Protein backbone atom coordinates (compact mmCIF):
# COMPACT_ATOMS: atom_id res chain seq x y z
CA UNK A 1 0.00 0.00 0.00
CA UNK A 2 1.29 3.45 -0.94
CA UNK A 3 2.11 6.11 1.65
CA UNK A 4 0.54 9.58 1.68
CA UNK A 5 3.85 10.91 0.36
CA UNK A 6 3.81 8.53 -2.60
CA UNK A 7 0.25 9.58 -3.40
CA UNK A 8 1.61 13.07 -4.09
CA UNK A 9 0.42 14.96 -1.02
CA UNK A 10 2.57 17.89 0.08
CA UNK A 11 4.61 18.01 3.29
CA UNK A 12 2.03 20.06 5.19
CA UNK A 13 -0.71 17.50 4.53
CA UNK A 14 1.68 14.66 5.35
CA UNK A 15 2.49 16.33 8.66
CA UNK A 16 -1.17 16.91 9.46
CA UNK A 17 -2.18 13.31 8.73
CA UNK A 18 0.70 12.06 10.87
CA UNK A 19 -0.33 14.36 13.73
CA UNK A 20 -3.86 12.95 13.52
CA UNK A 21 -2.48 9.42 13.87
CA UNK A 22 -2.79 8.35 10.24
CA UNK A 23 0.00 5.92 9.40
CA UNK A 24 -1.05 4.89 5.90
CA UNK A 25 -4.00 5.50 3.57
CA UNK A 26 -7.00 3.19 3.49
CA UNK A 27 -8.00 1.51 0.23
CA UNK A 28 -10.53 4.20 -0.68
CA UNK A 29 -8.05 6.96 0.17
CA UNK A 30 -5.31 5.41 -1.93
CA UNK A 31 -7.57 5.08 -4.98
CA UNK A 32 -9.56 8.32 -4.63
CA UNK A 33 -6.72 10.73 -3.82
CA UNK A 34 -4.99 9.89 -7.08
CA UNK A 35 -8.23 10.11 -9.06
CA UNK A 36 -9.17 13.53 -7.67
CA UNK A 37 -5.63 14.86 -8.12
CA UNK A 38 -5.73 13.76 -11.77
CA UNK A 39 -8.68 16.10 -12.35
CA UNK A 40 -11.19 13.46 -13.37
CA UNK A 41 -14.80 13.29 -12.21
CA UNK A 42 -14.96 10.64 -9.49
CA UNK A 43 -17.71 8.28 -8.34
CA UNK A 44 -16.61 6.55 -5.12
CA UNK A 45 -18.55 3.96 -3.13
CA UNK A 46 -16.96 2.78 0.11
CA UNK A 47 -18.22 1.41 3.42
CA UNK A 48 -18.84 3.73 6.32
CA UNK A 49 -15.84 4.21 8.55
CA UNK A 50 -13.21 3.70 5.84
CA UNK A 51 -12.00 7.30 5.62
CA UNK A 52 -14.09 8.73 2.78
CA UNK A 53 -13.95 12.30 4.10
CA UNK A 54 -10.16 12.38 4.02
CA UNK A 55 -10.22 10.68 0.61
CA UNK A 56 -11.79 13.71 -1.06
CA UNK A 57 -10.60 16.47 1.30
CA UNK A 58 -6.86 15.82 1.14
CA UNK A 59 -6.44 16.11 -2.66
CA UNK A 60 -8.81 19.09 -2.93
CA UNK A 61 -7.09 20.93 -0.07
CA UNK A 62 -3.79 20.40 -1.84
CA UNK A 63 -5.10 21.73 -5.15
CA UNK A 64 -6.70 24.77 -3.55
CA UNK A 65 -3.51 25.62 -1.66
CA UNK A 66 -1.57 25.92 -4.93
CA UNK A 67 -3.04 29.41 -5.43
CA UNK A 68 -3.02 31.97 -2.60
CA UNK A 69 -6.08 34.25 -2.44
CA UNK A 70 -5.38 35.56 1.07
CA UNK A 71 -4.51 39.02 -0.30
CA UNK A 72 -7.84 39.30 -2.13
CA UNK A 73 -10.43 41.55 -0.53
CA UNK A 74 -13.12 38.93 -1.18
CA UNK A 75 -12.03 35.35 -1.74
CA UNK A 76 -13.95 33.46 -4.47
CA UNK A 77 -15.61 30.15 -3.55
CA UNK A 78 -13.54 27.52 -5.31
CA UNK A 79 -14.81 24.33 -3.66
CA UNK A 80 -18.37 23.41 -2.72
CA UNK A 81 -19.06 20.42 -0.46
CA UNK A 82 -22.76 19.57 -0.44
CA UNK A 83 -24.00 17.40 2.46
CA UNK A 84 -27.47 16.26 3.57
CA UNK A 85 -27.43 17.30 7.24
CA UNK A 86 -26.27 20.06 9.57
CA UNK A 87 -24.31 17.58 11.67
CA UNK A 88 -22.32 16.39 8.67
CA UNK A 89 -21.70 19.98 7.53
CA UNK A 90 -20.14 20.82 10.89
CA UNK A 91 -18.10 17.63 10.89
CA UNK A 92 -16.73 18.27 7.39
CA UNK A 93 -15.86 21.85 8.38
CA UNK A 94 -14.02 20.52 11.44
CA UNK A 95 -12.17 17.96 9.31
CA UNK A 96 -11.07 20.69 6.89
CA UNK A 97 -9.58 22.58 9.82
CA UNK A 98 -7.66 19.50 10.98
CA UNK A 99 -6.43 18.24 7.61
CA UNK A 100 -5.84 21.71 6.18
CA UNK A 101 -3.99 23.24 9.14
CA UNK A 102 -1.34 25.78 8.02
CA UNK A 103 -2.56 25.80 4.40
CA UNK A 104 -4.10 29.26 4.78
CA UNK A 105 -7.49 28.28 3.40
CA UNK A 106 -10.78 29.78 4.62
CA UNK A 107 -13.91 27.66 5.16
CA UNK A 108 -17.54 28.57 5.85
CA UNK A 109 -20.40 26.15 6.52
CA UNK A 110 -24.07 27.04 6.04
CA UNK A 111 -27.18 25.11 7.08
CA UNK A 112 -30.69 25.58 8.40
CA UNK A 113 -31.61 26.13 12.02
CA UNK A 114 -29.47 29.28 12.21
CA UNK A 115 -30.45 32.81 11.15
CA UNK A 116 -29.49 33.20 7.50
CA UNK A 117 -28.32 36.78 7.97
CA UNK A 118 -25.78 35.75 10.61
CA UNK A 119 -24.34 33.23 8.15
CA UNK A 120 -24.48 35.71 5.27
CA UNK A 121 -22.39 38.19 7.28
CA UNK A 122 -19.51 35.74 7.24
CA UNK A 123 -19.15 36.11 3.46
CA UNK A 124 -17.95 39.71 3.58
CA UNK A 125 -14.38 38.48 3.05
CA UNK A 126 -15.44 35.50 0.95
CA UNK A 127 -14.18 31.96 1.40
CA UNK A 128 -12.14 29.34 -0.43
CA UNK A 129 -14.39 26.47 0.65
CA UNK A 130 -18.14 26.32 1.23
CA UNK A 131 -19.78 23.41 3.09
CA UNK A 132 -23.56 23.53 2.69
CA UNK A 133 -26.85 21.73 3.04
CA UNK A 134 -29.09 21.99 -0.05
CA UNK A 135 -31.94 24.15 1.23
CA UNK A 136 -29.78 26.80 2.88
CA UNK A 137 -27.52 26.92 -0.19
CA UNK A 138 -30.54 27.51 -2.44
CA UNK A 139 -31.82 30.23 -0.10
CA UNK A 140 -28.51 32.08 -0.34
CA UNK A 141 -28.28 31.64 -4.08
CA UNK A 142 -31.75 33.19 -4.48
CA UNK A 143 -30.75 36.37 -2.65
CA UNK A 144 -27.33 36.33 -4.38
CA UNK A 145 -25.34 36.24 -1.14
CA UNK A 146 -22.89 33.87 -2.79
CA UNK A 147 -21.70 33.04 -6.29
CA UNK A 148 -20.67 29.65 -7.72
CA UNK A 149 -19.09 31.03 -10.90
CA UNK A 150 -15.53 30.28 -9.71
CA UNK A 151 -16.18 26.73 -8.48
CA UNK A 152 -13.40 24.29 -9.37
CA UNK A 153 -14.51 21.35 -7.21
CA UNK A 154 -18.06 20.20 -6.48
CA UNK A 155 -18.32 17.33 -3.99
CA UNK A 156 -21.49 15.54 -2.91
CA UNK A 157 -20.89 13.66 0.35
CA UNK A 158 -23.49 11.02 1.28
CA UNK A 159 -24.50 11.39 -2.37
CA UNK A 160 -27.05 8.59 -2.22
CA UNK A 161 -28.96 10.47 0.47
CA UNK A 162 -28.76 13.74 -1.47
CA UNK A 163 -30.21 12.32 -4.69
CA UNK A 164 -33.00 10.63 -2.73
CA UNK A 165 -34.11 13.90 -1.09
CA UNK A 166 -36.25 14.97 -4.04
CA UNK A 167 -34.04 17.95 -4.93
CA UNK A 168 -33.14 17.08 -8.51
CA UNK A 169 -34.21 20.47 -9.86
CA UNK A 170 -32.22 22.24 -7.12
CA UNK A 171 -29.11 20.20 -7.92
CA UNK A 172 -29.54 20.96 -11.61
CA UNK A 173 -29.81 24.68 -10.82
CA UNK A 174 -26.67 24.61 -8.65
CA UNK A 175 -24.59 22.95 -11.34
CA UNK A 176 -25.90 25.33 -13.99
CA UNK A 177 -24.34 28.16 -11.95
CA UNK A 178 -20.90 26.48 -11.92
CA UNK A 179 -18.34 26.41 -14.71
CA UNK A 180 -18.87 23.40 -16.99
CA UNK A 181 -15.25 22.34 -16.36
CA UNK A 182 -15.76 22.10 -12.57
CA UNK A 183 -14.64 18.71 -11.28
CA UNK A 184 -17.60 16.74 -9.91
CA UNK A 185 -16.96 14.19 -7.14
CA UNK A 186 -19.57 11.85 -5.64
CA UNK A 187 -18.88 9.94 -2.41
CA UNK A 188 -21.29 7.51 -0.79
CA UNK A 189 -21.33 4.50 1.53
CA UNK A 190 -24.08 2.83 -0.49
CA UNK A 191 -24.85 2.68 -4.20
CA UNK A 192 -28.26 3.09 -5.82
CA UNK A 193 -29.94 3.25 -9.23
CA UNK A 194 -30.82 6.89 -8.61
CA UNK A 195 -27.19 7.74 -7.90
CA UNK A 196 -26.02 5.90 -11.01
CA UNK A 197 -28.54 7.82 -13.09
CA UNK A 198 -27.42 11.11 -11.57
CA UNK A 199 -23.77 10.31 -12.31
CA UNK A 200 -24.50 9.48 -15.96
CA UNK A 201 -26.41 12.74 -16.37
CA UNK A 202 -23.91 15.13 -14.79
CA UNK A 203 -20.44 13.55 -14.70
CA UNK A 204 -17.99 13.15 -17.59
CA UNK A 205 -15.30 10.49 -18.16
CA UNK A 206 -15.96 9.16 -14.67
CA UNK A 207 -13.42 7.29 -12.56
CA UNK A 208 -15.43 4.63 -10.68
CA UNK A 209 -13.98 3.46 -7.36
CA UNK A 210 -15.55 0.80 -5.15
CA UNK A 211 -14.21 -0.17 -1.75
CA UNK A 212 -15.96 -3.56 -1.85
CA UNK A 213 -19.47 -4.85 -2.57
CA UNK A 214 -20.10 -5.76 1.08
CA UNK A 215 -19.32 -3.47 3.97
CA UNK A 216 -16.20 -4.97 5.62
CA UNK A 217 -17.11 -3.34 8.92
CA UNK A 218 -20.22 -5.55 9.04
CA UNK A 219 -17.97 -8.57 9.52
CA UNK A 220 -16.75 -6.98 12.73
CA UNK A 221 -20.21 -6.42 14.20
CA UNK A 222 -22.48 -8.85 16.03
CA UNK A 223 -26.13 -8.48 14.98
CA UNK A 224 -28.78 -9.59 17.48
CA UNK A 225 -32.51 -9.28 16.81
CA UNK A 226 -35.16 -9.85 19.46
CA UNK A 227 -38.81 -10.61 18.66
CA UNK A 228 -40.91 -8.61 21.14
CA UNK A 229 -44.49 -7.44 21.52
CA UNK A 230 -44.97 -3.82 20.54
CA UNK A 231 -46.60 -2.87 23.84
CA UNK A 232 -43.65 -4.36 25.78
CA UNK A 233 -40.87 -2.70 23.80
CA UNK A 234 -40.09 -0.08 26.43
CA UNK A 235 -39.73 -2.69 29.16
CA UNK A 236 -37.47 -4.80 26.96
CA UNK A 237 -35.33 -1.74 26.26
CA UNK A 238 -34.88 -1.13 30.01
CA UNK A 239 -33.92 -4.79 30.52
CA UNK A 240 -31.43 -4.73 27.65
CA UNK A 241 -29.74 -1.50 28.75
CA UNK A 242 -29.42 -2.72 32.34
CA UNK A 243 -27.88 -5.93 31.04
CA UNK A 244 -25.36 -4.07 28.89
CA UNK A 245 -24.47 -1.63 31.68
CA UNK A 246 -22.38 0.36 29.20
CA UNK A 247 -21.03 3.89 29.48
CA UNK A 248 -22.13 4.67 25.92
CA UNK A 249 -25.10 3.38 23.90
CA UNK A 250 -26.71 4.93 20.81
CA UNK A 251 -30.43 4.21 20.49
CA UNK A 252 -32.36 4.80 17.24
CA UNK A 253 -36.09 5.54 17.12
CA UNK A 254 -38.24 6.21 14.07
CA UNK A 255 -39.71 9.63 14.93
CA UNK A 256 -39.09 12.78 16.95
CA UNK A 257 -42.09 11.95 19.14
CA UNK A 258 -40.62 8.53 19.96
CA UNK A 259 -37.25 10.12 20.70
CA UNK A 260 -38.84 12.57 23.15
CA UNK A 261 -40.94 9.85 24.78
CA UNK A 262 -38.05 7.39 25.13
CA UNK A 263 -35.74 10.09 26.45
CA UNK A 264 -38.31 11.00 29.13
CA UNK A 265 -38.96 7.38 30.13
CA UNK A 266 -35.28 6.44 30.30
CA UNK A 267 -34.46 9.45 32.46
CA UNK A 268 -37.28 8.46 34.80
CA UNK A 269 -35.72 4.99 35.04
CA UNK A 270 -32.39 6.49 36.12
CA UNK A 271 -30.54 6.37 32.79
CA UNK A 272 -28.45 9.47 31.99
CA UNK A 273 -29.77 10.15 28.52
CA UNK A 274 -30.41 12.87 25.95
CA UNK A 275 -32.13 13.06 22.57
CA UNK A 276 -31.59 14.48 19.08
CA UNK A 277 -34.02 15.03 16.21
CA UNK A 278 -34.77 17.64 13.53
CA UNK A 279 -36.95 19.90 15.66
CA UNK A 280 -34.20 20.51 18.22
CA UNK A 281 -32.19 23.68 17.59
CA UNK A 282 -28.74 23.33 16.05
CA UNK A 283 -27.05 24.71 19.16
CA UNK A 284 -28.75 22.17 21.43
CA UNK A 285 -28.06 19.33 19.00
CA UNK A 286 -24.35 20.16 19.01
CA UNK A 287 -24.31 20.42 22.80
CA UNK A 288 -26.09 17.10 23.24
CA UNK A 289 -23.93 15.26 20.72
CA UNK A 290 -20.79 16.66 22.33
CA UNK A 291 -22.15 15.68 25.76
CA UNK A 292 -22.63 12.12 24.52
CA UNK A 293 -19.11 12.02 23.10
CA UNK A 294 -17.51 13.33 26.29
CA UNK A 295 -19.51 11.11 28.65
CA UNK A 296 -21.86 13.70 30.11
CA UNK A 297 -24.67 11.48 28.76
CA UNK A 298 -24.36 7.69 28.65
CA UNK A 299 -27.28 7.18 26.28
CA UNK A 300 -28.27 9.08 23.14
CA UNK A 301 -31.72 8.53 21.63
CA UNK A 302 -31.92 9.83 18.06
CA UNK A 303 -33.62 9.67 14.69
CA UNK A 304 -31.69 8.83 11.53
CA UNK A 305 -30.15 12.31 11.35
CA UNK A 306 -27.38 10.82 13.53
CA UNK A 307 -26.95 7.72 11.36
CA UNK A 308 -24.75 9.32 8.70
CA UNK A 309 -21.42 11.05 8.83
CA UNK A 310 -21.17 11.27 12.61
CA UNK A 311 -17.97 9.96 14.20
CA UNK A 312 -18.25 8.84 17.82
CA UNK A 313 -15.08 7.25 19.20
CA UNK A 314 -15.32 4.07 21.27
CA UNK A 315 -19.01 3.51 20.50
CA UNK A 316 -19.57 -0.23 20.83
CA UNK A 317 -23.32 -0.64 21.26
CA UNK A 318 -26.12 0.48 18.93
CA UNK A 319 -29.75 -0.35 19.72
CA UNK A 320 -32.55 -0.15 17.17
CA UNK A 321 -35.69 0.51 19.19
CA UNK A 322 -37.34 0.66 15.77
CA UNK A 323 -35.93 -0.90 12.61
CA UNK A 324 -35.47 1.57 9.74
CA UNK A 325 -37.70 1.04 6.72
CA UNK A 326 -34.73 1.44 4.35
CA UNK A 327 -32.00 -1.24 4.52
CA UNK A 328 -29.32 1.35 3.67
CA UNK A 329 -30.33 3.25 6.79
CA UNK A 330 -29.70 0.07 8.80
CA UNK A 331 -26.18 -0.14 7.34
CA UNK A 332 -25.55 3.50 8.20
CA UNK A 333 -26.88 3.05 11.72
CA UNK A 334 -24.67 0.05 12.48
CA UNK A 335 -21.78 1.89 10.85
CA UNK A 336 -21.65 4.28 13.82
CA UNK A 337 -19.91 1.41 15.61
CA UNK A 338 -16.90 -0.58 14.39
CA UNK A 339 -15.26 2.57 13.06
CA UNK A 340 -12.06 1.70 11.22
CA UNK A 341 -8.90 1.68 13.31
CA UNK A 342 -6.56 1.49 10.31
CA UNK A 343 -5.55 5.11 10.54
CA UNK A 344 -5.82 5.67 14.27
CA UNK A 345 -3.43 5.06 17.12
CA UNK A 346 -5.07 2.79 19.69
CA UNK A 347 -4.55 3.67 23.34
CA UNK A 348 -4.19 1.14 26.15
CA UNK A 349 -7.35 2.50 27.76
CA UNK A 350 -9.38 2.02 24.59
CA UNK A 351 -8.09 -1.54 24.18
CA UNK A 352 -8.95 -2.39 27.79
CA UNK A 353 -12.47 -1.00 27.36
CA UNK A 354 -12.91 -2.90 24.11
CA UNK A 355 -11.79 -6.20 25.72
CA UNK A 356 -14.31 -5.77 28.52
CA UNK A 357 -17.10 -4.99 26.04
CA UNK A 358 -16.17 -7.94 23.83
CA UNK A 359 -16.41 -10.30 26.79
CA UNK A 360 -19.92 -9.04 27.60
CA UNK A 361 -21.00 -9.28 23.97
CA UNK A 362 -19.69 -12.84 23.72
CA UNK A 363 -21.70 -13.83 26.78
CA UNK A 364 -24.88 -12.37 25.29
CA UNK A 365 -24.23 -13.96 21.90
CA UNK A 366 -23.52 -17.38 23.44
CA UNK A 367 -26.67 -17.19 25.59
CA UNK A 368 -28.77 -16.50 22.50
CA UNK A 369 -26.99 -19.22 20.50
CA UNK A 370 -26.89 -16.58 17.78
CA UNK A 371 -23.29 -16.33 16.64
CA UNK A 372 -22.24 -14.49 13.52
CA UNK A 373 -24.14 -16.83 11.26
CA UNK A 374 -26.54 -19.72 11.73
CA UNK A 375 -24.44 -21.75 9.30
CA UNK A 376 -21.95 -23.92 11.28
CA UNK A 377 -19.19 -23.52 8.70
CA UNK A 378 -19.30 -19.73 9.09
CA UNK A 379 -19.40 -19.49 12.88
CA UNK A 380 -15.63 -19.40 13.30
CA UNK A 381 -14.80 -17.09 10.41
CA UNK A 382 -14.11 -14.23 12.81
CA UNK A 383 -12.50 -14.41 16.23
CA UNK A 384 -13.80 -12.62 19.33
CA UNK A 385 -10.79 -10.30 19.26
CA UNK A 386 -11.98 -8.94 15.92
CA UNK A 387 -15.40 -7.87 17.19
CA UNK A 388 -15.70 -4.08 17.10
CA UNK A 389 -19.39 -3.62 17.79
CA UNK A 390 -22.71 -5.15 18.75
CA UNK A 391 -26.06 -4.04 17.34
CA UNK A 392 -29.34 -5.01 19.01
CA UNK A 393 -32.75 -4.62 17.37
CA UNK A 394 -36.13 -4.85 19.10
CA UNK A 395 -38.48 -6.14 16.41
CA UNK A 396 -42.24 -5.89 16.85
CA UNK A 397 -44.72 -7.89 14.73
CA UNK A 398 -45.30 -4.86 12.51
CA UNK A 399 -41.63 -4.78 11.50
CA UNK A 400 -40.82 -8.48 11.05
CA UNK A 401 -41.34 -8.06 7.28
CA UNK A 402 -38.22 -5.85 7.23
CA UNK A 403 -35.92 -8.51 8.69
CA UNK A 404 -35.31 -10.48 5.42
CA UNK A 405 -34.41 -7.25 3.61
CA UNK A 406 -31.90 -6.31 6.31
CA UNK A 407 -30.42 -9.82 6.31
CA UNK A 408 -29.91 -9.50 2.56
CA UNK A 409 -28.24 -6.10 2.96
CA UNK A 410 -25.94 -7.32 5.73
CA UNK A 411 -24.99 -10.43 3.78
CA UNK A 412 -25.33 -12.97 6.59
CA UNK A 413 -28.10 -14.73 8.45
CA UNK A 414 -29.46 -13.08 11.61
CA UNK A 415 -31.80 -15.11 13.80
CA UNK A 416 -34.89 -13.46 15.19
CA UNK A 417 -34.66 -14.55 18.84
CA UNK A 418 -36.79 -14.36 21.94
CA UNK A 419 -35.19 -12.24 24.70
CA UNK A 420 -33.29 -14.30 27.28
CA UNK A 421 -34.54 -12.19 30.20
CA UNK A 422 -37.94 -12.13 31.82
CA UNK A 423 -39.82 -8.90 32.29
CA UNK A 424 -40.62 -7.93 35.85
CA UNK A 425 -44.37 -7.93 36.45
CA UNK A 426 -45.82 -5.61 39.07
Whether 118 and 164 share a structural domain: yes
Domain membership flag for residue 36: yes
Look at residues 173, 81, 166, 176 and name the one whose alpha carbon lies nearest to residue 132.
81
Domain membership flag for residue 2: no
Number of domains in the chain: 2
Residue that is last in its domain, among 210, 235, 252: 210
pLDDT, position 1: 60
Whether 81 and 223 share a structural domain: no
Domain membership flag for residue 360: yes
Please say whether the beta carbons of 367 and 420 come within 8 A: yes
pLDDT, position 338: 53
Domain membership flag for residue 5: no
Whether 55 and 172 share a structural domain: yes
Domain membership flag for residue 153: yes
Whether 232 and 360 share a structural domain: yes
Whether 32 and 160 share a structural domain: yes
Range of the domain at 63: 11-210
Domain membership flag for residue 159: yes
- Provide the residue-wise pLDDT of the chain in tens; the chain has 426 residues: 678 999 999 999 999 999 888 888 988 999 999 999 999 999 999 877 678 899 999 999 999 999 988 888 899 999 999 999 888 898 899 899 999 999 999 999 999 888 899 999 999 999 999 999 999 999 999 999 999 999 999 999 999 989 988 899 999 999 999 999 999 999 998 888 999 999 999 999 999 998 754 454 566 788 999 999 999 999 999 999 999 888 889 999 989 999 999 999 999 999 999 999 888 887 888 889 889 989 999 999 999 888 766 777 778 899 999 998 877 788 878 877 755 443 343 333 334 344 444 445 555 555 444 333 333 333 333 344 456 789 999 999 999 999 998 888 787 888 899 998 888 765
Long-range contacts of 96-100 (CB under 8 A, 24+ apart): 96/57, 96/61, 96/129, 96/131, 98/16, 98/20, 99/13, 99/16, 99/17, 99/20, 99/54, 99/57, 99/58, 99/61, 100/13, 100/16, 100/57, 100/61, 100/65
CATH code of the domain covering residue 72: 3.40.50.300
List of residues 6+ apart from 118 with CB closer than 8 A: none
Helix (H) or strand (E) holding 275: strand 273-276
pLDDT, position 386: 55
pLDDT, position 339: 53
Domain membership flag for residue 304: yes
Whether 236 and 187 share a structural domain: no
Integer Cα distance of 340 and 138 in angstroms: 35
Please say whether the beta carbons of 281 and 114 come within 8 A: no
| One-letter-per-residue 3-state SS of 337-374 | CCCCCCCCCCCHHHHHHHHHHHHHHHHHHHHHCCCCCC
Whether 81 and 121 share a structural domain: yes
Integer Cα distance of 83 and 188 in angstroms: 11
Distance (Å) of CA 359 to CA 12, 92, 236, 313: 42, 35, 22, 19
Whether 176 and 220 share a structural domain: no
What is the pTM for the complete model shown?
A: 0.67
Whether 259 and 160 share a structural domain: no
Please say whether the beta carbons of 130 and 157 come within 8 A: no
Integer Cα distance of 92 and 321 in angstroms: 29
Q: Buried (b) or exposed (e) across 81-117, using 16+ Cβ within 10 A?
A: bbbbbbbbbbbbbebbeebbbebebbbbbbbbeeeee
pLDDT, position 55: 94
Domain membership flag for residue 382: yes
Whether 228 and 206 share a structural domain: no
pLDDT, position 322: 93
Report CA dihedral (57, 58, 60, 66) to the nearest 10 degrees: 150
Q: For the chain, how far is it from start to end, CA to CA, in angstroms?
A: 60
Residue that is last in its domain, among 210, 242, 270: 210
Residue that is last in its domain, among 147, 179, 210: 210
Look at residues 207, 130, 120, 132 and name the one whose alpha carbon lies nearest to residue 171.
132
Whether 41 and 99 share a structural domain: yes
Whether 173 and 225 share a structural domain: no
Amino acid sequence: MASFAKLGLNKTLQKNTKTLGYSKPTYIQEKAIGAVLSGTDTYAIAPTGTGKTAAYLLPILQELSQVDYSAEQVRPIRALFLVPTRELALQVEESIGLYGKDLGLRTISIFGGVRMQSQANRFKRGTDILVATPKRLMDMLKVKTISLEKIQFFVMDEADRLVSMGIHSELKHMMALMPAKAQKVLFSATDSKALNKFSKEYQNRVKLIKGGDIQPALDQIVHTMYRVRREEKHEHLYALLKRLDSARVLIFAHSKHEVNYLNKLLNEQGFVTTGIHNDISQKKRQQRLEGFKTGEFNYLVATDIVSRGIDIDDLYYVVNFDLPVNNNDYLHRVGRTARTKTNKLATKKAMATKEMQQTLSKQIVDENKSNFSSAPEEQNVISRNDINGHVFSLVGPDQERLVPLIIKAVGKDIKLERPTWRLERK
